[in-house]
Structure 1
Amino acid sequence: MVFTNESPPATRVPVRTRLHGVDIARGLAVLGMFVAHAGPAALNPAAGGAAEFLAALGNGHASILFATLAGVSLALLTGGSRPHEGLALRRDRVRIAVRAVVLFALGMALTQLGTPMMVILSFYALYFLLTLPFLRLRPAALLVLAAVWAIAGPVASFFLRGAIGSGDTAGGALAFSDLTSWDAAVAGFQRLLLDGAYPVLTWMPFVLAGLAVGRLDLRSTAVRLKLLISGVVLAVVGTGGSWLALHVFGGVRALQPTLDNLQPIAAEIGKEPLELLQMFGFGVVPTTTPAFLLINGPHTGTPFEIVASTGAALAVLALCLFAGDHLRTPLAPLAAVGALALTVYTVQGLLLEPLMQGLGEQPWLPLLVLALGSLVLCGLWRPLLGRGPLERVLHWTSTRTADAVVPAR
């Protein structure tokens, strides 16, 4: 995962000041991730009130905000609105590829340890590798590609999964143990590409949209306003389009057999069957009927979720860019969490199970420990020590490899 918006110091190009709004947005994504993994609704899906509201904000949206910001950071890493060319671009590609390798291994390690969350790092590694051919595209071309992929990807996924079957691989990630046999390795890479928690086939639009946005002048007030308006419009189109498709154009009728099966569980936790269906996703929707593609729910990977959640991510980014200019000091701890996001993500994965077991009887306590602990520790680390431990590993390995593979003139 690119968890930074730095400019590469060794590419012999002018270095621009850091966009603190990107760090703030990434920090919000980290807090949203905490809500999804350790919030009270994670312990009790029937929890209402503030717990349900926070879950609605965090579930699905945090990871999609991460993916979109990954695209933004890749753009900033490779020159922002003035993309690198020639030697500098070759170095950029080496650095991105090396980061992908490190993240892939780290993601497999966290998955192997059995951390109780859907680990995204190995998926991010593949996103990064797939962006390499697109680094020189203009923003308009990237946006068109993202839009086409947002529609074609989920549809292709639906029919591919229906043809080959994917019940045993849906919703997971890749672990080292998956590489012990040919069949396990094939299933593991099927999760990464097609039907895992964050499959490449349906998640690339987020990264491509972020890459397009990062190619704009994000210091421009006009660009930020356009980004905010566009984000709101996309969120309304995705959410409203799904509602119309379900309630006006017959989607609910096509899903009725599934909704009938969910009725007892929904009644038990006080939800409507359709609401329950949209609450829980594991990366993709079932292939029993194409009507599932009309849903807009967390981790469903439908065109409506992609459009709506991309819009939400862009709107959040725009607001955070404004906040980074005017509220830099009070939001410094949150920006520090965003700047150290890889370290925070990994530590959370290691601590999540002990926290949930030790503090689970107090539904809000695991979330508060993770959130407040991260804000305090990162808020102290960032101004005193700079990059986080794992961020240093990414920077050092990628820069040294680029120095060796593409020597500076």
Structure 2
Amino acid sequence: MTTPAPMPDHVPEGDIVIGDRPQPGARDKREPWNGSEPEKRPRTKKRPRILGIDAARGFAVIGMVAVHTMPAWNDGVREVSMTYEIFAGRSAQLFALLAGLSLAIISGMSKIHTGRRLRRDRWNVFFRVVFMIILGGVINLAPIPVYNILPYYAFFFLFAIPFLGLGARSLFLLSFVTAIVGPLLRYFAIATFDFEFLNRPDIIDMLYAQPLTSLSSLIFTGVYPAITWMAYIFLGMAIGRLDLRNLSVVIKLGFYSLVTAVTFGFISDIVMQNRAMYEITEATDSMSYDDVWELVQFGGRLPSSTLWWQFVVGPHTNTIASVFFAGALAAVAVSAFLVLERAVVHLLEPLIAVGSMSLTVYVAHMLFLYFFKPAVNDFPVVMTVVQIVVAVVFAVFWKAAVGQGPLEKMQAVITKSAARRVVPERPEEFATQPRRVEDIAKKAASHRE
């Protein structure tokens, strides 16, 4: 006669396998059933946050604060300022990659959601699109002296919805293809069509006054065009599909990304110095050699005069070289913060706090630039320090006292509840039907048979 396997302590009766018997001993005290719906137990435990991702997001936000507030030109040395050199474009591209990584987290990371849960994820992202269009469009009603990325983000998320169910390999390939095809489509679209563009489309422009111009700006001609920036979104989604809790995976990600960044930076430098600068100057009648060099340094919207522009890696140039270079640098930054999380996580707490409520901090930064524009122009260093210190202090105390940032909480409540209404957690007839004594008796009888 075999001895039955010992049962774990305090096993609820409903979890006892048929044929097994509870062990003798005292049982937990429980209230008698009063006929109401039994309390539902959570199906899965909440996945703990990867703090390195929050730290990277906090670094990106602080970088945007610095580049928006500090001057781009250093009069002392007659060169582009160090702040602009480091953060211009790079912070926003890192932020976009992390947005893609957030989409991977929403849809299950390496364990990709399927079926009803994936459909709910897609609706969740769609309602985030609506939320960001409204929020970003309303902010743009004010004459803020920088480009607000939120309306562009809405379109990034919108275009990512069909790809939420893809795995890492497919997303890496999609990012690679988009990094090549996207800049070329943008180049030929601008060269072929006489696009008007709005770098700061507001809610009135998007919905009523200039909907087509706003749409073309957000997709093709604006400062963060979706046609090229989707490469960062797909790259972030692909990274989010990896096992980011595995140190060897993180180190490999950082190594290959660094090799890619160095390779494209080196190729760009060699080609620009030996051929491209000459070809661009010859093909662009309205620009001298110095004008071309200034545009290469400062970045911005490039003319569609020659494909040699595609070797430029300057900020916001949206060329093939710049997308590969900036995307690889952003992946290096993510990898670095994931490694630092394991080594000095306590030193990253300020960045983690800011990154956990990056939307709140970013919107506050936009409003600060609007209300304190004269002070920002007169005292850029002081105003940069003030914004960073206030953001860190607020984020640390809010995170400790409340948790989720105020705008993050609002977004989560609205989008998740709306998604659950469209795609309930289970069919409506089962979600609302109460469990009855007769149903329980029938199940018990079937088990005995």
TM normalised by structure 1 equals: 0.89
Matched residue, 2:269? 243
Give, in angstroms, the shift of residue 360 of structure 1: 2.8
Please name the residue that 1:178 is paired with: 205
Query: In the alignment, which residue of structure 2 is the partner of 1:3?
Result: none
Partner of 1:187: 213
1:179–1:307 distance in 2 versus 1, CA, 3 Å: closer
Match of 1:364 among 381, 384, 389: 381
**What is the aligned partner in structure 2 of residue 200 from structure 1?**
226
Matched-pair contact (CA < 8 Å) for 2:74–2:80: no
- 1:384 has 2:393 as partner: no
Aligned pair partner of 2:297 in 279, 283, 289: 279
The letter for the 1-side match of 2:65 is F
Alignment-derived partner of residue 197 in structure 2: 169
Deviation at 1:403, TM superposition (A): 2.0
Shift of residue 22 of structure 1? 0.3
- 1:100 alignment partner, one of 129, 132, 142: 129
Task: Summarize the Cα distance change of 1:206–1:11 in structure 2 as closer, same or farther, 3 Å threshold.
Answer: farther
Distance 2:392 2:421 in 1: 37
The answer to whether 1:66 aligns with 2:95 is: yes
Identity of aligned residues (%): 31
Indicate how the Cα distance of structure 1 residues 47 and 348 shifts in structure 2: closer, same or farther if over 3 A, else same.
Answer: farther
Q: Give the alignment partner of residue 255 of structure 1, picking from 280, 285, 288.
A: 280
Matches within 5 A, 1:123-162: 123-162=152-191
Q: How many residue pairs are counted as aligned between the two chains?
A: 385
CA distance in 2, matches of 1:177, 1:157: 25
Tell me: CA distance 1:176–1:158, structure 2 relative to 1, closer, same or farther (3 Å): same
Structure 1 unmatched ranges of 5 or more: 1-9, 267-272
Take 1:88 and 1:202, find their aligned partners in 2: how far apart are those partners? 29
Residues 11/148 of structure 1: CA separation in 2 closer, same or farther (3 Å cut): farther
Match of 1:52 in 2: 81
More helix per residue: 1
Q: What is the aligned counterpart of 1:346 among 345, 363, 366?
A: 363
The residue identity in structure 2 corresponding to 1:405 is: V
SS in 1 for 2:257: helix
1:29 matched residue in structure 2: 60
Please tell me whether Structure 1 or Structure 2 has the larger radius of gyration of its CA atoms: 2
Larger RCO, structures 1/2 (Cα 8 Å, 6+ apart)? 1
Q: In the TM superposition, what is the alpha-carbon distance from 1:275 to its structure 2 partner? A: 4.3
Deviation at 1:181, TM superposition (A): 5.1
Does the CA contact (< 8 Å) of 1:11 and 1:91 recur in 2? Answer: no
CA distance in 1, matches of 2:351, 2:79: 21
Does the aligned pair in 2 maintain the 1:38–1:356 contact within 8 Å? no
Q: Does 1:215 align with 2:233?
A: no
Q: Is the 8 A contact 1:334 1:379 kept in 2?
A: no
Partner Cα distance (2:70, 2:350) in 1: 20
The 5 A counterparts of 1:222-241 are 222-241=248-267
CA contact (8 A) 2:281 2:288 kept: no
Distance change (3 Å), C-alpha of 1:402 and 1:180: closer
Q: Please tell me the residue identity of whatever aligns with 1:291.
A: W
Contact 1:232/1:311, CA 8 A, preserved across alignment? yes
1:373 aligns with 2:390: yes
- Shift in CA distance, 225/49, structure 1 to aligned 2, threshold 3 Å: farther
User: Aligned partners of 2:390, 2:404: CA distance in 1, in Å?
Assistant: 18
Contact (CA 8 Å) 1:237, 1:307: kept in 2 or not?
no
Q: Which runs of no fewer than 5 residues in structure 2 stay unpaired?
A: 1-40, 427-449
Query: 2-side partners of 1:220 and 1:114: how far apart?
Result: 45
Q: Distance in 2 between matches of 1:132 and 1:279?
A: 35
**Alpha-carbon separation, structure 2, partners of 1:179 and 1:402:** 24
Paired residues of 1:294 and 1:304 also in contact (CA < 8 A) = yes
Aligned-CA RMSD value: 2.1
